[in-house]
C-alpha cells in the first residue's frame, strides 16, 4: 500500500453528479465511484469451446468482438483467456477483425463462467490508496461449480494485469451485479438478492447494510423489494432492473403489457422507485426502459433480457439490443438521452442472454483515479 503525506487524494470524475472534483481528507473515507467516472480499463473473460457457451460459440464471439472493438477504441481492455490455446485464438480473432492490440492485454487465467461483473474485484478509493475489494463469490447462492471463479480476482491481481494497488480479501458474499451507486454515497440494491439466505445467512438486513457502508463508504442503502427478470439466476441483480445516471436519474426496466408475467412485479418496483428520494429529499428523475419481446431457451423458458444491463465506458454506453426493433430503438433513445455526452452503441446481445446474462454482467470497469501531486 502506498501512502501520501497529505492523506488527501483528488478524484477526477468525468461528469460526476455535482460536476466537480471530489477531495477526500478523512483518513477513514472510502469512495465507491459511479460507473460514469472516467475509467482506466474494462475486463472481460472470453467464452471457451467446452464452456457453457459452446452451442453458440461463434455467435457469442461476434458479440465479444463488437464489445472489444468499442472498448479498446476508448480505453484499455483486459481479456481473460481460459488457457494458452484460447489466448492464441483470441489474438488471431482480434487481428482478423482489425482490432488493434496496443490497448489490449490478454491474461491467461482459468474461470468457470464469463460473468466477471461478479467475480472481478471491486475498486474503491481511500485517503491512503486505491484498493481492490475481493468479496467472496459462491456462484449466486451455490448454483454452479465455481472453484476457479472464486479465485479469479486474487489471481488477476497477483498477475499484475490490474496494476499494483493493494487487494483486500473479504469474507462476505457479494457480487458486483447487485450493486448500483450514484457516486455520492447512495447504493441501490434488491432484497431478493442481498437478503437471500443463500448468500450470507447469518446476517440480518441491518448487519448487511453496515458491511456495505463500511467497505464501500456509503451513507445509505436503498432497497427494492419488487422486480425481477424472468429466467434470471442471480436472484434479481439490480443491474437487470434499475441503474443510476447523472443528475439524479434512474433508468429502470418497465412493463406496460398486462398479459406479461412480469407486469405486476415491475409495476410494484416502479412504485417503489417513485417513492424513493435523493439525500436532498427530491424525487429521482425516472426513465422507463421497455422490456423486449420474450426470448426463450431451447426448453421454452424465458431468458432474462433487459436493456438496464448496459455498460458505461469512456465516451460511450454499450446498449444490449435483442432484435425487437421497436423496443431496441426506444431503449437506445432513452439511454442516449440520459448520457448526452456519450455515444450510445447498440450491441446485439441475444447470444449473451442464452446463458442468462448481458453486457454489464460480462464486464467489469476499473476507474481511473488520478493522484494529487
For residue 167, what are the β-bridge partners? 132
Query: What pLDDT is attached to residue 26?
Result: 53
Q: Name the CATH architecture for the domain at 9-367.
A: 5-stranded Propeller (3.75)
- Is residue 291 pLDDT above 50, yes or no? yes
Instruction: Judge whether 251 and 336 are in contact, CB under 8 Å.
Output: no
- Extents of the domains making up the chain: 9-367
Residue 198 has φ and ψ, to the nearest 5°, of -85, 0
Label residue 373 by pLDDT band (50, 70, 90).
very low
- Is residue 218 pLDDT above 90, yes or no? yes
- Is residue 23 pLDDT above 70, yes or no? no
pLDDT tens digit sequence for 138-194: 999 999 999 999 999 999 999 999 999 999 999 999 999 999 999 999 999 999 999
For residue 311, what are the β-bridge partners? 318
Query: What pLDDT is attached to residue 127?
Result: 86
Span 28-41, mean pLDDT? Answer: 94
Label residue 370 by pLDDT band (50, 70, 90).
low
23 vs 126 pLDDT, higher one: 126
For residue 74, what are the β-bridge partners? none
Q: Indicate the length of the chain as a whole number.
A: 373
Between CA 239 and CA 228 the distance in angstroms is 10
Query: Dmax of the chain from CA atoms?
Result: 62
- Is residue 217 pLDDT above 70, yes or no? yes
Q: Which of 358, 341, 319, 91 is nearest to 229 (CA)?
A: 358
pTM metric for this prediction = 0.92
Query: What pLDDT is attached to residue 128?
Result: 86
pLDDT tens digit sequence for 120-144: 999 999 988 899 999 999 999 999 9
Between CA 97 and CA 21 the distance in angstroms is 38
Span 247-266, mean pLDDT? Answer: 97
* Three-class secondary structure of residue 269 per DSSP: helix
Amino acid at each position: 500500500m502506498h501512502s501520501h503525506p497529505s492523506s488527501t487524494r483528488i478524484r477526477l470524475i468525468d461528469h460526476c453528479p455535482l460536476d466537480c472534483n471530489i477531495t477526500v481528507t478523512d483518513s477513514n473515507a472510502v469512495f465507491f465511484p459511479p460507473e460514469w467516472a472516467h475509467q482506466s480499463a474494462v475486463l472481460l473473460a472470453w467464452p471457451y469451446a467446452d464452456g457453457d457457451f459452446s452451442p453458440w460459440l461463434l455467435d457469442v464471439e461476434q458479440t465479444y468482438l463488437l464489445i472489444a472493438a468499442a472498448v479498446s477504441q476508448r480505453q484499455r481492455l483486459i481479456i481473460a483467456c481460459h488457457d494458452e490455446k484460447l489466448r492464441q485464438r483470441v489474438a488471431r480473432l482480434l487481428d482478423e477483425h482489425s482490432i488493434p492490440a496496443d490497448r489490449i492485454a490478454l491474461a491467461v487465467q482459468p474461470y468457470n463462467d464469463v460473468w466477471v461483473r461478479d467475480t472481478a474485484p471491486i475498486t474503491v478509493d481511500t485517503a491512503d490508496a486505491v484498493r481492490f475489494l475481493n468479496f467472496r463469490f459462491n456462484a449466486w447462492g451455490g448454483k454452479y461449480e465455481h472453484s476457479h471463479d472464486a479465485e479469479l480476482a486474487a489471481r488477476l491481481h497477483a498477475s499484475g494485469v490490474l496494476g499494483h494497488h493493494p487487494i483486500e480479501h473479504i469474507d462476505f458474499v457479494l457480487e458486483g451485479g447487485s450493486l448500483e451507486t450514484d457516486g455520492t454515497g447512495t447504493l441501490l440494491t434488491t432484497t431478493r438478492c442481498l437478503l437471500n439466505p443463500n448468500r450470507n445467512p447469518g446476517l440480518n438486513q441491518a448487519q448487511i447494510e453496515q458491511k456495505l457502508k463500511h467497505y464501500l463508504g456509503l451513507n445509505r442503502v436503498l432497497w427494492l423489494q419488487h422486480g425481477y427478470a424472468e429466467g434470471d439466476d442471480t436472484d434479481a441483480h439490480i443491474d437487470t432492473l434499475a441503474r443510476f445516471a447523472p443528475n439524479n436519474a434512474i433508468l429502470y426496466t418497465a412493463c406496460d403489457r398486462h398479459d406479461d408475467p412480469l407486469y405486476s412485479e415491475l409495476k410494484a418496483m416502479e412504485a417503489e422507485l417513485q417513492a424513493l428520494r435523493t439525500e436532498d429529499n427530491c424525487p429521482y428523475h425516472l426513465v422507463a426502459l421497455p422490456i423486449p419481446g420474450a426470448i426463450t431457451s431451447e426448453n421454452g423458458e424465458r431468458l432474462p433480457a433487459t436493456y438496464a444491463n448496459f455498460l458505461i465506458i469512456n465516451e460511450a454506453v454499450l446498449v444490449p439490443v435483442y432484435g425487437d426493433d421497436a423496443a431496441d430503438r426506444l431503449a437506445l433513445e432513452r439511454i442516449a438521452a440520459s448520457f448526452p455526452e456519450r455515444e450510445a452503441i447498440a450491441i446485439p446481445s441475444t447470444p449473451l442472454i442464452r446463458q442468462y446474462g448481458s453486457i454489464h454482467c460480462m464486464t467489469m470497469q476499473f476507474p481511473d483515479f488520478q493522484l494529487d501531486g
